[in-house]
Chains A and B, each alone.
Chain A
Amino acid sequence: MFKIVERTEMAQGTVVMNVIEAPKIAAKAQPGQFVMLRANETGERIPLTMADTDPEKGTITIIYQVVGKSTALFKTLQVGDFFTDVLGPLGKPTHIERVLGLVICIGGGTGTAVVHPITRGYKNMGNRVVAIIGARTKDLLILEDKMAAASHELKICTDDGSFGHHGFVSDILQQYIDSGEKIAEVVAAGPVPMMKAIANMTRPHGIPTQVSLNSIMIDGTGMCGGCRVLVGNKNQFTCVDGPEFDGHLVDFDGLMQRLSAYKENEAQATAELDHSCKLGQMK
């Protein structure tokens, strides 16, 4: 059992942050790695990249968007409640090194939580780091303060123009590319179309681009192969070969299709949950 010691709702309650007691995982975790969580005995195993860790306190931080039944169930857990299972740290850590040139870390939506420790890692390594984060609208932005602290420069975008740049994170990236400054590395995490757009933008310039994928998986240890994705025309397992891959080689369209595999089941499960919640309120 893994206790929740801190809980914050963000982005109008559509995003939740949990700090969880998991000392063994906290002691080992590195930026880019993920955990598998299960809320209760009937729950699904859900992979989430860690947004932060505190080895001294023995805690890890996860940030998730409430998108379906399992994350809705996560959201019901309060401080003092427990996740039945947390497994990790899984996946390969991000390869963070001192590079010659600018590092640009891009987070879209809850992808910002994924790039946060990576951004900080690049900065701590002595690189000059620009962070670009975006959301649909101002109220859905997360981690502005933390991203500001983790980088030298923070750029914020909203799709509707309610805050910062009116447009996409890729617009800002384009400005940096156009400026002619040498960009040594781009790291991106967020919705698949965003990562695809960024990879397409950096490819002609030969800018190394790492993307963090959020495939569907069961075990997280290489056993099921459900998270397979074509990278350079070769199947790779997101859980053990990733979750970060060379964005120029990832088959984003295939990834997007596989992410839609359980859309109908998800709708059914969420409807059942709504139904049982209403029944619960009636008691």
Chain B
Amino acid sequence: MTDKKKVPRQPMPEQAPDKRRRNFEEVPLGYSAETAVLEASRCIQCKNPVCVTGCPVEIDIPGFIRELRHGKFAAAIAKLKEKTALPAVCGRVCPQESQCEERCVLAKTGEAVAIGRLERFAADWERGQGEAPLPSLPPKTRKSVAVVGAGPSGLTVAGDLILKGHDVTVYEAFHKAGGVLVYGIPEFRLPKAIVQAEVDFLAKLGVKFELNAVIGRTETVDELLARHDAVFLAVGAGLPSFLNIPGENLIGIYSANEYLTRSNLMKAYLFPAYDTPIARGKNVVVLGAGNVAMDAARTAMRLGADTVKIVYRRSREEMPARAEEIHHGEEEGIELHLLTAPVRFMGDEKGRLKAMECQRMELGEPDESGRRRPVPVKDSNFIIDTDMAVIAVGANANPLITSTTTGLKTNKWGYIIADSETGKTMKQRVWAGGDIVTGAATVILAMGAGRLAANSIDKYLKIGW
């Protein structure tokens, strides 16, 4: 018997920073089978696995790791798929360090089992085997569900309910299914072929996808209710926030949504092979410090920037981005300009961005979020030369659905009010989940909300509201 404690957490092989900063290929390369088995051997198979309690979709973590450890990769992926429709996605973009891995018993004395990397390994192994076997489907219930929005929450509901025998149609406004997984998260963090494979798998199970369907315009929720038994709304947050400072409409200033959608969904990084253009800034500034800001900054570097600066009014500790993203970004040459706030943008005579005025900040008393409030330092203004800026300071609720649907209740920010245990809205036969309920959050939280709603919808279809 090997002493489990002696095997260290296995590092993830990665593309070298100086190479990857100029290409769009995936940064982490994935475990080899040997490494995966070795890492899996570190799991001590707790009787009461606390890691599972940190997972919004309650994956049987020791269960799938046990299979991996014995080299039973097919059994491992089957175990994962009992709880998640998107293992290849979750293995890559979940914040494991603040969920399952944070609770891992090994983390108390050393390093947690690399649960996310193992999940990714199992999913990638399966994709490498060719066609994934289809699970056996139960008899059809002849009930039908409309899912509005093909992002992580919607895809989870679709996957769960098709496996329970219901008919599922997913309505998506864009020309491609995947939501934030295709328009928001860049190729180098989540290859689009992986998302497509997950969507294709759902289609093979019988999920119907209606693309180019913007609910609220092409059809209303009430029209969907006329031909479906239940409707799940998962349309995302959907409206970008701006800073509302002078000069914000200058050419070269993007919302993160626009910048990332151009690059990811429309493949502007391959212009002119693809027709959608994108600015290739030389000295880029990104306002904000979350995962979206990091994605924008790292995209700008790959599009040929000389310098990319993250400008954030608080300190490093308050940066909402995952530690891994910040680390990867810094390795690639992204500069962090902390305790710095934008004051105004300045342009040339053609209306193109050329500089940004900033001011220094210092941390004062804690604010309502519990974080120390940034306070401007007097007479500290200075200028940063920049030809492109990306504003990544969050999103607001898109009113397209709520303004065209009677009986839905929203909170003061315009997000849909839904029960946190069931996803039920104030309107009969309508559920909601993901960012349109919580405001901008993570892929896995949206999936967790989808899981709860799917259970509630299934229950309704079988026994009633």
A13 to nearest B CB, angstroms? 21
- Return the CB mask of B248-283 against A: 1 if under 8 Å, else 0: 111110110110011000110001111111010000
Taking the complex as formed, is A105 at the interface, i.e. its CB lies under 8 A from any CB of chain B?
no
- Return the CB mask of A226-257 against B: 1 if under 8 Å, else 0: 10111000010100100000000000001001
- Residues of A in contact with B, size category: 35 or more
B42 to nearest A CB, angstroms? 42
Q: B252: which A residues are within 8 A, CB to CB?
A: 261
Q: Evaluate contact between A230 and B249: CB separation under 8 angstroms.
A: yes
Of A87, A226, A240, A261, which is within 8 A of B173 by CB?
A87
B192 to nearest A CB, angstroms? 13
A273 to nearest B CB, angstroms? 9
Of A44, A228, A229, A254, which is within 8 A of B266 by CB?
A44
Q: A45: which B residues are within 8 A, CB to CB?
A: 175, 266, 276
A28 to B249, CA, bound (A): 33
Chain A interface residues toward B at CB < 8 A: 24-25, 28, 38, 42-45, 69-70, 73, 84-90, 218-226, 228-230, 235, 237, 240, 254, 257-258, 260-262, 265-266, 268-269, 272
- Once A225-B258, A269-B277 are accepted as A-B contacts, the answer to whether A24 and B249 lie under 8 Å apart by CB is no
Of B218, B244, B398, which is within 8 A of A89 by CB?
B218
Q: Evaluate contact between B257 and A28: CB separation under 8 angstroms.
A: no
Q: B244: which A residues are within 8 A, CB to CB?
A: 235
What is the size, in residues, of chain B's interface with A at 8 Å between Cβ atoms? Answer: 41
A90 to B272, CA, bound (A): 28
Q: B304: which A residues are within 8 A, CB to CB?
A: none
A87 to B251, CA, bound (A): 27
Q: Evaluate contact between B242 and A219: CB separation under 8 angstroms.
A: no
A77 to B120, CA, bound (A): 43
Q: How many A-B residue pairs have CB under 8 A?
A: 116
Of the candidates B174, B219, B273, B277, the one having the most CB atoms from chain A within 10 angstroms of its own CB is: B277
Closest to A24 in B: B218
A34 to nearest B CB, angstroms? 11
Q: Evaluate contact between A265 and B271: CB separation under 8 angstroms.
A: yes
Q: Evaluate contact between B277 and A223: CB separation under 8 angstroms.
A: no
Q: Evaluate contact between A88 and B218: CB separation under 8 angstroms.
A: yes
Contacts A/B (CB < 8 Å), 9 sampled: A44-B266, A87-B175, A89-B217, A90-B217, A223-B261, A226-B255, A235-B248, A257-B251, A265-B271
Of the candidates B218, B252, B266, B351, the one having the most CB atoms from chain A within 10 angstroms of its own CB is: B218
Q: Evaluate contact between B275 and A69: CB separation under 8 angstroms.
A: yes
Of B218, B255, B277, which is within 8 A of A262 by CB?
B277
Of A73, A90, A224, A262, which is within 8 A of B261 by CB?
A224
The 3 closest A-B pairs by CB, nearest first: A257-B351, A265-B277, A224-B258
Taking the complex as formed, is B240 at the interface, i.e. its CB lies under 8 A from any CB of chain A?
yes
Q: Evaluate contact between B173 and A219: CB separation under 8 angstroms.
A: yes
Q: Evaluate contact between A85 and B276: CB separation under 8 angstroms.
A: no
B444 to nearest A CB, angstroms? 22
Closest to A39 in B: B275
Closest to B216 in A: A221
Q: A269: which B residues are within 8 A, CB to CB?
A: 271-272, 275, 277
- Return the CB mask of B160-174 against A: 1 if under 8 Å, else 0: 000000000000011
Q: B272: which A residues are within 8 A, CB to CB?
A: 265, 268-269, 272
Of A88, A89, A260, A262, which is within 8 A of B350 by CB?
A260
A143 to nearest B CB, angstroms? 26
Of B217, B242, B351, B398, which is within 8 A of A235 by CB?
B242
Closest to A33 in B: B217
Taking the complex as formed, is B441 at the interface, i.e. its CB lies under 8 A from any CB of chain A?
no
Q: A28: which B residues are within 8 A, CB to CB?
A: 217-219
Of B214, B257, B275, which is within 8 A of A90 by CB?
B214
Closest to B218 in A: A24
- Once A265-B277, A269-B271 are accepted as A-B contacts, the answer to whether A221 and B214 lie under 8 Å apart by CB is yes
A224 to B239, CA, bound (A): 7
- Once A85-B211, A223-B240, A225-B258 are accepted as A-B contacts, the answer to whether A258 and B251 lie under 8 Å apart by CB is yes
